[in-house]
Amino acid sequence: MAQSWFSDPELLATNFSVSYVCNNLTKLQDTLAYAHMDDVVVVNTAQTPCITHKLPITEKSFIHQVRICALQSNVFIVVASDNGVQIFDDKGEQSLYELALKDALDVPEEGVALFCKGIAAINLDNPSLIVGTSLGKLFILGNEKSAKATSSTEFDLLETLNEHKDAISCIDSTKSGSLVACADDSGLILVRNPDGNFEILHRIEGDGFPVTSLSMTMDHWLLCGYLTGRLRIFKKENNFQLHAEVAAHSRAITALDVHDHQVATVSEDTFLNVWELTSSKTSTKVKLVSSQCVQNDLLTGVAFAGAKSIVTAAFDTTHLKLWVPE
């Protein structure tokens, strides 16, 4: 068992509790955000104490994910909920776009859940957002008026993608926008080429257990956390074949984040673990470099705040925790 890097964390008071949904913490520069039932809490850490406020959501419904997305020169706060998709400006003060699920999709049979979940930014010449749904469909949102919409804050529904039969659980893309990976509740992962009409390049079959969190990093690795507590690493160079697998946690992984060659994972087992990846042409080594038990916290979100500093979110707590190495 690895030693922990950390001692007691600094509490960042937010006044609003954290919902129990996976990947319930997003960070970009000094701004953090998380879901609080049918609201989104935005936290500005540039000042002490932190300044918090809620997004001005008018048509409220349960929120499954919020993500701060950088689309070239713009930053947006994207919300996926029972109602559909809402996009806000970077300060969380103005609503820029709404897509109602009942208008975008055929209403399913009675008893079938309808919601959005899974958000990623695709930074190509014509940037766009991709958002998943409980019906397995994927919405591509962007500006159809301009081929180089680098400074546009206007959005349209450009395309709806099919292939997944189960609810989308999580989505991520490479920083270059060259690849996007979408996972569903069956464990199926599809890797697509956004610059080639979202052609499916690789299909990673599932084993019946949902992918709960994933990250595409450095255009080389696809890291996936599972309901089983497993952490799996797929490598682009060998056609996204399984490259390494770790029994990372004893219960479900609820979130992961990546910084350089380090991966932070949190789980229902109350542990915050940090892993170090090293790779050669023939193998990838995964080493547990820090393991911290966060007693009494049902962890639901994690984000790197620096090279070794980490922020965690936990269900039903009205604060975030900042972990700084001793």
Q: Tell me, what's the pLDDT at 150?
A: 44
Q: Confidence band (pLDDT; 50, 70, 90) for 245?
A: very high
Whether a cis peptide bond, with omega within 30° of 0, leads into 194 is no
Q: Confidence band (pLDDT; 50, 70, 90) for 113?
A: confident
Amino acid of residue 253: I
Type and span of the H or E element at 318: none
Amino acid of residue 244: A
Report d(CA 168, CA 215) in Å as an integer. Answer: 15
Q: Tell me, what's the pLDDT at 148?
A: 52
Question: Which 8-state DSSP code applies to residue 209?
Answer: S
Q: Tell me, what's the pLDDT at 219?
A: 60
Average pLDDT over residues 313-317: 99
**What integer best gives the mean pLDDT of the chain?**
93
Report d(CA 58, CA 201) in Å as an integer. Answer: 39
Q: Tell me, what's the pLDDT at 1?
A: 67
CA angle 215, 25, 276 (to 5 degrees): 45
Please state, for a pLDDT cut of 70, what percent of the chain lies above it: 95
Q: Would you say how long the chain is, in residues?
A: 326
The structure tokens listed for 43 are 């936290």
Task: Read off the pLDDT of residues 269-280 as tens digits, 9 standing for 90 and up.
Answer: 999 999 999 877
**Least trusted range by pLDDT, from 27-41, 81-95, 269-283:** 269-283
β-strand partners of 226: 211
Please state, for a pLDDT cut of 90, what percent of the chain lies above it: 80
- Tokens 């695709």 identify what position? 122
In the chain, the domains with their CATH numbers are: 10-323 (2.130.10.10)
Task: Read off the pLDDT of residues 148-177 as tens digits, 9 standing for 90 and up.
Answer: 544 567 899 999 999 999 999 999 999 989
Quick check: 182 pLDDT over 50? yes
Quick check: 250 pLDDT over 80? yes
The residues, ordered by sequence, that sit 6+ positions from 262 with a Cβ below 8 Å of its Cβ are 274, 275, 276, 277, 289, 304, 307, 308
Report d(CA 154, CA 149) in Å as an integer. Answer: 9
Q: Tell me, what's the pLDDT at 144?
A: 75
Q: Tell me, what's the pLDDT at 74?
A: 94
The structure tokens listed for 202 are 């690789």
The structure tokens listed for 235 are 């490598």
Q: Tell me, what's the pLDDT at 278?
A: 86
Report d(CA 114, CA 119) in Å as an integer. Answer: 16
CB 48 within 8 A of CB 55: no
Strands 128-133 and 156-161 turn out to be: unpaired
What is the pTM assigned to this prediction? 0.94
**Least trusted range by pLDDT, from 34-43, 45-54, 249-258:** 45-54
